[in-house]
Structure 1
Amino acid sequence: MIFLLNYYKIIDVFSIGEILLAVFIFIAIHYWRINRNTPMTIWPIMGMLPSLIHNVSNFPDYINSLLQQNGGTIIFEGPWLTKMKIVFTSDSMNVQHITSTKFENYGKGNDFEEIFEVLGDGIFRSDFHIWKYNRTLLHSIFKQENFQVFLHKTIEKKIFSSLLVFLDHACKNGLQVDLQDIFHRLTFDNICSIVLGSDPLCLSIDLPEIECERAFTYADNTFFLRHVKPKFFWKLQKWLQIGDEKKFTENRKIVDQWLYSKIKSKKEMQGEQQFDLVSIILRQSIGDGKNPIDDENKFLRDTSINLLAAGRDTIGSALTWFFWLVATHPIVEAKILEEIKENLPSRKDNWKYLGVEVLNKLTYLHGTICEVLRLYPPLPFEHKSSLKSDVLPSGHKIKSNTKILYSLYSVGRMEKLWGEDCLEFKPERWISKKGGIIQVPSYKFIAFNAGPRTCLGKDISFIEIKMIAASILMNYQIQVVEDHPIIPSISVILHMRHGLKVNVKKRSI
């Protein structure tokens, strides 16, 4: 009886909730002690999610370390009852298997479609016949001579009318510049002009805040959070219209209204001879009865938003990492400059002019860009989902509807693929003894994806990056601000979290 009285007194002093909390803390400490020396702790109820959340601020390097320690493939399991299971891999044979050998078995999947719903039925989100139609159409346009000439002139015009003007202004006034922000503005202006035939003028001396460009920036963060949050949680936020999902919805409306207004304007100008992508599509037959398009406006909207996202974020990311690496490796910078001077045409003001013929001769610059993309691919992860059960070359069994993320970031840092110096920045690894570019299999150099989904814009990307990089390097010295932190951002795109702060000085000829 005395024992029972004491028991009830304890219950009075400590609530049931407090007792359960104490038990949970005891179990958590016990699991932590058992797993404290392992990189991915498996927690009761929560699975591996706490370890993932704890390391989310350094996600690419964290996953890379896990893959390096576990033979290139790991299986992540989330909280109980959430069905949150992800296979991470950087095994090049697995990548080749997924992207090429068994391509038909690995699509984007339902999870990807839900996370990136804003992309509609565009090329990056679609599968099967819709994807094939998108790819065939865009491939035919990219190969048209008129479009290629328009592309080069558009980029060249923007470099001379906006980029060099802004950098001259920064030089004269001794301004510290966030080069990442400048590249985002520049590439957004470029891709809008190329796709929509309309320049939003994000890059100008006063650096205006453009609503549609800001809306694109916000989307990156939401996409990443949807990957790490349990699906039921972010879907609940979306349904209740709270938190990140509410802001995402607001920004999506801004983008949609802007895109549809541009599409309407292009239709009204259909009689004029224009070579932007939307104008070319409108001149071609869309409703030929052999394609899956029901709504022309939606098709143009989906196509546009996919290309705008790719043309802004990936090129902007590549340029940012390029200038950080080149600015901190003066020998590489000197070699690029020497190569440009050797290949410039003999003409007045030639050091500011770069035509397609000259660009194709810049082998060392091309190798430098490849090396940047190897170490810092703009898309650090690619998302796939299995249709049927399968076995990967690594021996891992894959059930149907399994989410797979292969790490482009980690593939570029594997010692068995790139040698003991895999973490070093060495453009020379891309140059053959005869002075040409060494061709590397796409499942090894995977910055542009591999297999049937290899990036259609690969050649366009190299042209734009070379034009911008050469124009800046010939005109200016870029000096990274001392002690400026260089840390990847928490995003689906490999941006720099704190931007790239630099001082710009005029280069003497």
Structure 2
Amino acid sequence: MACIGLLEASIALFCFLIFYLFLIQKHYCYMLIKKYLQSYPWNWPVLGMLPAVLMRFNRIDDAIYIIEKTNLTFVFKGPWFARMDALITVDPANIHHILTSNFSNYVKGPELKEILDVYGDAIFNTDGELWKNLRMSFQAILNRQGFQNMSFSVTTSKLQDVLLPLFSRFSEEGTVVDLQDVFRRFMFDTSLVTITGSDPHSLSIEMPEVEFAEAFDNAGEAILFRHVIPRFLWKFQNMMRLGQEKKLIEASATFDRICAKYIDAKREEIRSQGINHDHSNGESEDVLTSYTKLDTSKYEILDPSDDKFIGETLLSFIFAGRDTTATSLTWFFGLLTKNPNVEAKIRQEITKNLPEASQERSWSASDHKEYLNKLVYLHAALYEAMRLYPPIPFERKSPIKSDVLPSGHKIDANSNIIIPIYALGRMRSVWGEDAWEFKPERWISETGGLRHEPSSKFLAFNSGPRTCPGKNLAMMTMKTVVVDILQSYDIKLVKGHKIEPKPRLALQMKHGLRITLTKRCSA
């Protein structure tokens, strides 16, 4: 309690000084703030660098200047006794060391697990043998040809039966559309179908509020605040059910209740249909069915009879399927509205390689995959969008043992390391002087193929042993959506609409993506 009193007194003194400067020394205050915004974060007594973070919380680009001026790595000092000190790095050599070559020493750690407690033992929140078992089970499901075929079928059905008809109506009525909201609903519906077998129908002309989807949004916002305020403050808020913590508690209750509903329904479905544990005919099963019938001889730590484990696994899949893909699609189309030359090249590539794309088709999933693999420039443009706007904007790690990074920085055991992936994509020393430009050509090799870049530079799908197991499926899904939309519609950004990032666990647009649609004439 003494620490809390000291912090409160320091905050009061800080506020008084700011008040004095604004009233008495306006010119000096202006020059001070200007200098502040252009300099290395101030390390205040007691408060550390936290005031700098809070002042810049909604100006994520301000961090780029700081990191560039500190040779890609610097030490953040949090408030005294708050355990918020962290080493922040975008040095590819450090990243490779942390995520790949010395992977076993760098874990998520107990602090991050506590911050993400609403997700329980989700795959992105675990370490050790549990993580290995979860990852193996994820890969086994995602790599099944039957599951990939089902995912393709669900995606194309939702496109043809729901999204494109909606776009047709919006186009005819001249409706302004928030494409970010559309993609989040589209991916939520397709994810729930492939994961649970149930369609929530959140994407419709009514655009209804969906409690489950809203819980994910509220949880993500609250978790982000846990990263930037002292632990004792959010712990106190949680105990008192205040602010963001109240929303997180409510989100957790929603997760538990709705996951239990899906699990109970699935167990009853399996019982009523007499489905056994033979996997020979289960390749196209939804995720929930697969986990309910999991072969425990392959995954000794995983328990399919434990509803808590099944529920947390569902949350992992939904977050990965909905938030990351929807975010990537949103930024991709946002960038296209400002880069018509890139859009034209993508359309040309689609027309050249997919002459039947605008006609009624009966492709198999394998045929579809073969066609999409020819769209190298589209692939490059999607990668470029994720380089500039990675769906997950930062990675957090903690070393088990003390270590020395390739940059020469010494780090203590159990300390915090943050990799700001958003900033990494804008480092001129990493990507060149044109690092801030949307330039898909940087991904095209001299022979016209896709250029390989080390995952320590391009972290959109993570790196090393934790590389996203659904990477290929996500790319195929995004290409499918892009091709169908661009073949049918022209998209124009609403005049004056501002596109800027909104700090969240998944990097959303602060004001959405407001566009109008015009139906394209058939060739």
TM-score over 0.5 for the pair: yes
Report the AA paired with residue 25 of structure 1: L
Q: State the partner residue of 1:330.
A: 340
Report if the CA contact (8 A) 1:377-1:409 is conserved.
Answer: yes
Q: State the partner residue of 2:316.
A: 306
Distance 1:339 1:44, change over 3 A: same
Deviation at 1:144, TM superposition (A): 1.0
Q: Does 1:46 align with 2:60?
A: no
Q: Residue by residue, what CA displacement relative to the aligned partner does 1:224-281 show, whole Å, maximum 9, x if unpaired?
A: 1000010000011111112211121112211221111101111112235661111122
Q: Does 1:190 align with 2:190?
A: yes
Report if the CA contact (8 A) 2:178-2:512 is conserved.
Answer: yes
Matches within 5 A, 1:113-124: 113-124=113-124
Q: State the partner residue of 1:11.
A: none
Q: State the partner residue of 1:459.
A: 472
Report if the CA contact (8 A) 2:39-2:66 is conserved.
Answer: no
Choose 232-241 or 426-435, whichever is displaced more: 426-435
Matches within 5 A, 1:44-123: 44-59=45-60, 61-123=61-123
Q: Secondary structure at the match of 2:124?
A: coil
**C-alpha separation in 2, matches of 1:348 and 1:449:** 35
Report if the CA contact (8 A) 2:78-2:85 is conserved.
Answer: yes
Report if the CA contact (8 A) 1:49-1:78 is conserved.
Answer: yes
Distance 1:469 1:75, change over 3 A: same
Distance 1:145 1:33, change over 3 A: closer
Deviation at 1:295, TM superposition (A): 5.2
- Structure 1 portions without partners, runs of 5+: 1-16
Percent sequence identity is 39
**C-alpha separation in 1, matches of 2:518 and 2:488:** 9
- Structure 2 portions without partners, runs of 5+: 1-8, 22-27, 276-281
**C-alpha separation in 1, matches of 2:230 and 2:78:** 8
Deviation at 1:351, TM superposition (A): 8.1
Report the AA paired with residue 256 of structure 2: D
Q: Secondary structure at the match of 1:269?
A: helix
Deviation at 1:463, TM superposition (A): 0.8
Choose 23-32 or 431-440, whichever is displaced more: 23-32
**C-alpha separation in 1, matches of 2:395 and 2:313:** 20
Report if the CA contact (8 A) 2:118-2:248 is conserved.
Answer: no
Q: State the partner residue of 1:358.
A: 371
Q: Residue by residue, what CA displacement relative to the aligned partner does 1:130-155 show, whole Å, maximum 9, x if unpaired?
A: 00000011111111111111111111
Q: State the partner residue of 2:325.
A: 315
Matches within 5 A, 1:399-418: 399-418=412-431
Q: State the partner residue of 2:164.
A: 164
**C-alpha separation in 2, matches of 1:253 and 1:499:** 28
Q: Does 1:341 align with 2:333?
A: no
Report the AA paired with residue 276 of structure 1: D
Q: State the partner residue of 2:397.
A: 384
Q: Does 1:255 align with 2:259?
A: no
Q: Secondary structure at the match of 1:58?
A: coil
Q: State the partner residue of 2:384.
A: 371
Q: Does 1:230 align with 2:230?
A: yes
Distance 1:319 1:289, change over 3 A: closer
Deviation at 1:294, TM superposition (A): 7.9
Report if the CA contact (8 A) 1:478-1:503 is conserved.
Answer: yes
Q: Secondary structure at the match of 1:478?
A: strand
Deviation at 1:350, TM superposition (A): 5.0
Report the AA paired with residue 288 of structure 2: V
Aligned-residue CA RMSD in angstroms?
2.5
**C-alpha separation in 2, matches of 1:199 and 1:80:** 49
Report if the CA contact (8 A) 2:293-2:304 is conserved.
Answer: no
Q: Secondary structure at the match of 2:137?
A: helix
Distance 1:173 1:391, change over 3 A: same
Report if the CA contact (8 A) 1:28-1:43 is conserved.
Answer: no
Distance 1:445 1:338, change over 3 A: same
**C-alpha separation in 2, matches of 1:289 and 1:412:** 37
Deviation at 1:286, TM superposition (A): 2.9
**C-alpha separation in 1, matches of 2:408 and 2:154:** 49
Q: State the partner residue of 1:25.
A: 17
Distance 1:325 1:33, change over 3 A: closer
Distance 1:84 1:508, change over 3 A: same
Report the AA paired with residue 176 of structure 1: V
Choose 30-39 or 220-229, whichever is displaced more: 30-39
**C-alpha separation in 2, matches of 1:468 and 1:501:** 18
Q: Does 1:474 align with 2:487?
A: yes
Q: Secondary structure at the match of 1:39?
A: coil
Deviation at 1:212, TM superposition (A): 1.0
Report the AA paired with residue 298 of structure 1: K
Q: TM-score, normalised by structure 2?
A: 0.89
Report if the CA contact (8 A) 1:287-1:293 is conserved.
Answer: no
Report if the CA contact (8 A) 2:502-2:510 is conserved.
Answer: yes
Q: State the partner residue of 1:146.
A: 146
Report the AA paired with residue 211 of structure 1: E
Deviation at 1:291, TM superposition (A): 2.1
Report the AA paired with residue 17 of structure 2: I
Q: Secondary structure at the match of 2:508?
A: coil
Q: Residue by residue, what CA displacement relative to the aligned partner does 1:403-450 show, whole Å, maximum 9, x if unpaired?
A: 111011122112222211111111111111221111111111111110
Report if the CA contact (8 A) 2:93-2:406 is conserved.
Answer: yes
Match of 1:423 among 436, 457, 461: 436
Deviation at 1:345, TM superposition (A): 5.3
Bigger radius of gyration among the two: 1
Deviation at 1:348, TM superposition (A): 8.3
Q: Residue by residue, what CA displacement relative to the aligned partner does 1:32-60 show, whole Å, maximum 9, x if unpaired?
A: 9697463301112211111111000113x
Q: State the partner residue of 2:285.
A: 275
Q: Residue by residue, what CA displacement relative to the aligned partner does 1:73-125 show, whole Å, maximum 9, x if unpaired?
A: 11111112222201111001010010011101110011110111111112110
Q: Secondary structure at the match of 1:293?
A: coil
Q: State the partner residue of 1:10.
A: none
Q: What is the aligned length?
A: 491
**C-alpha separation in 2, matches of 1:112 and 1:281:** 26
Report if the CA contact (8 A) 1:189-1:202 is conserved.
Answer: yes
Q: Residue by residue, what CA displacement relative to the aligned partner does 1:144-170 show, whole Å, maximum 9, x if unpaired?
A: 111111111111111111111111110
Report if the CA contact (8 A) 2:294-2:304 is conserved.
Answer: no
Q: TM-score, normalised by structure 1?
A: 0.91
Choose 167-176 or 248-257, whichever is displaced more: 248-257
**C-alpha separation in 1, matches of 2:423 and 2:101:** 21
Q: State the partner residue of 1:9.
A: none
Report the AA paired with residue 168 of structure 2: D
Report the AA paired with residue 388 of structure 1: K
